[in-house]
Amino acid sequence: MSGSTFGNRFTVTTWGESHGKALGAVVDGCPAGLPLCEEDIQRLLDRRKPGRSRFATARKEGDEIEILSGVFEGRTTGTPISMMIRNTDQRSGDYGNIAYSYRPGHADYTFDQKYGFRDYRGGGRSSARETAARVAAGAIAEKILETLGIRFCAYTRSIGPVSMETFCPEEILRNSFYMPDKEAAERAGAYLENCMKHQDSAGGVIECRITGVPAGLGEPVFRKLDALLAQAVMSVGAVKAVEIGDGAAVAGMKGSEDNDGFSSENGKITKTSNHAGGIMGGISDGSEILVRASVKPTPSISRPQNTVTSSGEPISLEIHGRHDPVVVPRAVVVVEAMCALVLTDALFLNMTSRMDGIVEFYKKREGSET
């Protein structure tokens, strides 16, 4: 499978460059009969839109989604859903001065090494703008999962050294950082002001919690649920670490601390703790799934940086233009979307895990035909 397609049964193929004509996604394997309209997708897309605050690029990305196929009379038909976003605000001139230089922290050098040349306009395919297509696909996935009672809660855990201290879910959509802690958000704002004053940028941590996931999702041994979540989230541009549940902290724990025991009430078995983050042996255990992503600081900063041109000549590069001093808030919905893609696929794959489930499924269908 090529690099622009993700998933096995519920697949998404993304395409498009930052400053090309358009970008988009083709979702294949969406079941028929799901109510779907452009607004369903636009809602999620708007969460990664820039321009919500002074800490996001001033570029006006319309990000207006158009559904081109796969939906008929308001419902999905089971055939591929093609979605497109036209690029409207393409001030290419902004980027002309970096066409032949290797920006520190960017993919310019590696794209040149791999492909021999590159579309240098705005990062081309390696631009964060590519993630808009992922979010569009993720919106469909979330709609499927919602039908089954699976819910997502993604937010910014920290920006630079400023970490949330309380968890108030209602607060998430109220501040421009998507932090569940109002005061932390204010401190993060002050921190970013300072970064910008020094022509610098910041990173941070994103968390995604998923509830209502049935036990049993994930395919041992290479397509474990946590392994695919790790691939999905690490494939988001600036992510450099992925953790599940207690994550890196488990390395310092003892077995007696880390082990999640079981108890039962009225015949229903549940875990007594959730250090594992909802996944045991690569399979969902029915408790909340917790995924954490560490995001690096925006590489585009306006202070002079030493680097070279593509022909090897040293230059001092100042990157001007419209750049967020932190990408974390806009990446929150991207991480959520990627997790939704993984879960939808896992949900579908799991339907053939047992012979009895298959037999019942087809007996029922046969019955409904008569």
63-102: contacts with a second copy (CB under 8 A): 66-70, 72, 75-82, 84, 102
- Indicate if the alpha-carbon torsion angle 72, 74, 79, 85 is positive or negative: positive
What is the closest distance, in whole angstroms, from the C-beta atom of residue 166 to a second copy in the complex? 19
Closest CA to 180 of 201, 210, 158: 158
The 10 Å Cβ neighbour count of residue 45 is 23
- The answer to the question of residue 250 lying near a second copy (CB under 8 A) is yes
- The answer to the question of residue 29 lying near a second copy (CB under 8 A) is yes
User: Which residue stretch of 47-55, 107-115, 165-173, 179-187 sits at the interface with a second copy (rule: CB under 8 A)?
Assistant: 107-115
User: Which residue stretch of 46-54, 55-63, 173-181, 231-239 sits at the interface with a second copy (rule: CB under 8 A)?
Assistant: 231-239
- The answer to the question of residue 200 lying near a second copy (CB under 8 A) is yes
Pull the structure tokens for residue 30. 């969406």
User: Which residue stretch of 40-48, 49-57, 164-172, 255-263 sits at the interface with a second copy (rule: CB under 8 A)?
Assistant: 255-263
Closest CA to 288 of 167, 176, 181: 167
- The answer to the question of residue 39 lying near a second copy (CB under 8 A) is no
- The answer to the question of residue 175 lying near a second copy (CB under 8 A) is no
User: Which residue stretch of 54-62, 89-97, 105-113, 181-189 sits at the interface with a second copy (rule: CB under 8 A)?
Assistant: 105-113
Beta bridge partners of 284: 279
Cβ closest to a second copy, residue 5 vs residue 166: 5
Cβ closest to a second copy, residue 170 vs residue 218: 218
User: Which residue stretch of 57-65, 169-177, 181-189, 209-217 sits at the interface with a second copy (rule: CB under 8 A)?
Assistant: 209-217
Rounded CA separation 12/9 (Å): 10
User: Contacts with a second copy in 129-158 (CB under 8 A)?
Assistant: 130, 144, 147-148, 158
What is the closest distance, in whole angstroms, from the C-beta atom of residue 314 to a second copy in the complex? 7
Rounded CA separation 275/272 (Å): 10
Number of amino acids touching a second copy (CB under 8 A) = 174
User: Which residue stretch of 47-55, 164-172, 182-190, 271-279 sits at the interface with a second copy (rule: CB under 8 A)?
Assistant: 271-279
Rounded CA separation 345/7 (Å): 6
Q: Applying CB under 8 A, which of residues 189, 226, 331, 337 lies at the interface with a second copy?
A: 226
Rounded CA separation 187/194 (Å): 11
Rounded CA separation 125/14 (Å): 10
By the 8 A CB rule, do 177 and 159 touch?
A: yes
Q: Applying CB under 8 A, which of residues 241, 274, 288, 322 lies at the interface with a second copy?
A: 241
User: Contacts with a second copy in 344-363 (CB under 8 A)?
Assistant: 347-362
**Three-class SS state of 281:** coil
- Per the listing, tokens 């809660």 go with 153
- The answer to the question of residue 285 lying near a second copy (CB under 8 A) is yes
By the 8 A CB rule, do 316 and 212 touch?
A: no
Report long-range pairs for 46-53 (Cβ below 8 Å, ≥24 apart). 47/135, 47/178, 47/332, 47/333, 48/131, 48/132, 48/135, 48/330, 48/331, 48/332, 48/333, 48/334, 49/330, 50/322, 50/324, 50/330, 52/176, 52/329, 53/176
- The answer to the question of residue 321 lying near a second copy (CB under 8 A) is no
- The answer to the question of residue 169 lying near a second copy (CB under 8 A) is no
User: Contacts with a second copy in 287-316 (CB under 8 A)?
Assistant: 294-301, 303, 305-308, 312-314
- The answer to the question of residue 339 lying near a second copy (CB under 8 A) is no
What is the closest distance, in whole angstroms, from the C-beta atom of residue 32 to a second copy in the complex? 4
The 10 Å Cβ neighbour count of residue 220 is 11
Closest CA to 311 of 110, 107, 102: 102
Rounded CA separation 106/111 (Å): 10
By the 8 A CB rule, do 137 and 116 touch?
A: no
Q: Applying CB under 8 A, which of residues 50, 189, 277, 329 lies at the interface with a second copy?
A: 277
Q: Applying CB under 8 A, which of residues 135, 172, 179, 233 lies at the interface with a second copy?
A: 233
Q: Applying CB under 8 A, which of residues 231, 274, 288, 322 lies at the interface with a second copy?
A: 231
- The answer to the question of residue 244 lying near a second copy (CB under 8 A) is yes
What is the closest distance, in whole angstroms, from the C-beta atom of residue 8 to a second copy in the complex? 6
